Amino acid sequence: MIKTDILIIGAGPTGLFAVFEAGLLKLKCHLIDALPQPGGQCSEIYPKKPIYDIPGFPEVLAGDLVNNLMEQIKPFDPGFTLGDRAETLEKQEDGNFIVTTTRGVKHQAPIVVIAGGLGSFEPRKPPIPVIGNYEDKGVAYIIRDPEVYRDKRVVIAGGGDSALDWSIFLSGIAKEVSLVHRRNDFRGALDSVEKVEELSKIGKINLITGAEVVDLKGEDSLDAVVIRHSGEAVSEEVKPTDYFIPLFGLSPKLGPIGDWGLEIEKNAIKVDNSFDYQTNIPGVYAIGDVNTYPGKLKLILCGFHEAAIMCQSAYQRIFPDKRYVMKYTTVSGIDGFDGSRKEAKREVVKSIN
């Protein structure tokens, strides 16, 4: 069991900055994120794109903003559970919450902060009506252990980097690899495209372009995919296979958070913006793009503001009897949990004779 003061769901810029604001109040944070790295959308979708509306930064790349935030919160030693999704929220009798992830990791904290942005990034599933029946029975959206495919027949669908790279990799392991793509051109890295072309020429990858997988066959588990060839004469082909791996990138989904009993409006969590961004569940807050209230703006700078306000309220919930006055970092400096100290240079009073 991981225990902390504030459990933050979502390690995007808002979640990361909340660690800093909590740290000033000597509250420790732990973050959970479905992606394997911190930074949320900034790292996953647009790390190389510039942002122009972070106060004090005329221009900053999204990836650099994340690096800066990681540097800024380092003294407060946050814990991370990455590549794992928060599944359930339970309230205990003592007032603590337990959040359990998909892999079964349990986290305990008196305060839960949802900073989940657009939700957790999940593989995009092709619109094949029966696909749900074959999940884990021949259909996989993520390749966790390539060994599973040794000496098997595999059909991969998609035209991006991951489809290309896995086709190349699995061609060395699987009995047969087919790559199905709707168009004739691939848009991955040039080396990958060339390598696939080469492997296709020597028969290691069965390249099926101008085609789409439209249906799946099999009694209990997958036996075959139905491939529709477009072009002048539309035709369908039943291709026997052991596995079908559609690789069409990731898209964000609110996911299990939507079932936690929180008030949801327009795919976002309603919060009290007249005070502290708390949700309808006392002790659970929502900050950043994941929340909504009248006049909400989905901007990183608004998430930062909400994080600061939330931390003050969280502190009062954890220590109802303590009086606290907000301090300026310029005045009080920063005391890290790692023993580090940052402070403004003191002026020396010394007479010069």
The answer to whether 8 and 311 are in contact (CB under 8 A) is no
Looking at the Cβ atoms of 249 and 261, the one nearer to another protein is 249
Residue from 160, 255, 256, 336 touching another protein (CB under 8 A): that is 160
Considering only residues 167 to 196 of the shown chain, the ones binding another protein according to CB under 8 A are: 181-183, 187
Q: Could you count the other beta carbons within 10 Å of the beta carbon of residue 205?
A: 24
Q: How far is the CB of 217 from another protein (least distance, A)?
A: 20
**Residue 266 contacts another protein per CB under 8 A:** yes
Binding segment for another protein (CB under 8 A), chosen from 51-59, 121-129, 231-239, 272-280, is 121-129
Q: Could you count the other beta carbons within 10 Å of the beta carbon of residue 55?
A: 7
Looking at the Cβ atoms of 57 and 248, the one nearer to another protein is 248
**Residue 53 contacts another protein per CB under 8 A:** no
Q: How far is the CB of 130 from another protein (least distance, A)?
A: 13
**Residue 51 contacts another protein per CB under 8 A:** no
**Residue 48 contacts another protein per CB under 8 A:** no
Query: For the chain, what percentages of helix, strand and coil (3-state, to nearest 5) are there?
Result: 25, 30, 45
Of 123, 103, 140, 149, residue with least CA distance to 253:
123
Binding segment for another protein (CB under 8 A), chosen from 5-13, 45-53, 63-71, 192-200, is 45-53
Buried b (16+ CB within 10 A) or exposed e, 76-94: bebbebeebbbbebeeeee
**Residue 46 contacts another protein per CB under 8 A:** yes
Give the type of residue at 66. V
Residue from 23, 40, 78, 158 touching another protein (CB under 8 A): that is 158
Q: Which residue has the tokens 């036996």?
A: 223
Give the contacts of 175 (CB within 8 A, at least 6 positions apart). Answer: 151, 152, 153
**Residue 305 contacts another protein per CB under 8 A:** no
Q: Give the interface size with another protein as a residue count (CB under 8 A).
A: 25
The answer to whether 334 and 24 are in contact (CB under 8 A) is yes
Residues that bind another protein (CB under 8 A): 41, 45-46, 49, 118, 124-127, 158-160, 181-183, 187, 248-249, 251-252, 254, 266-268, 298
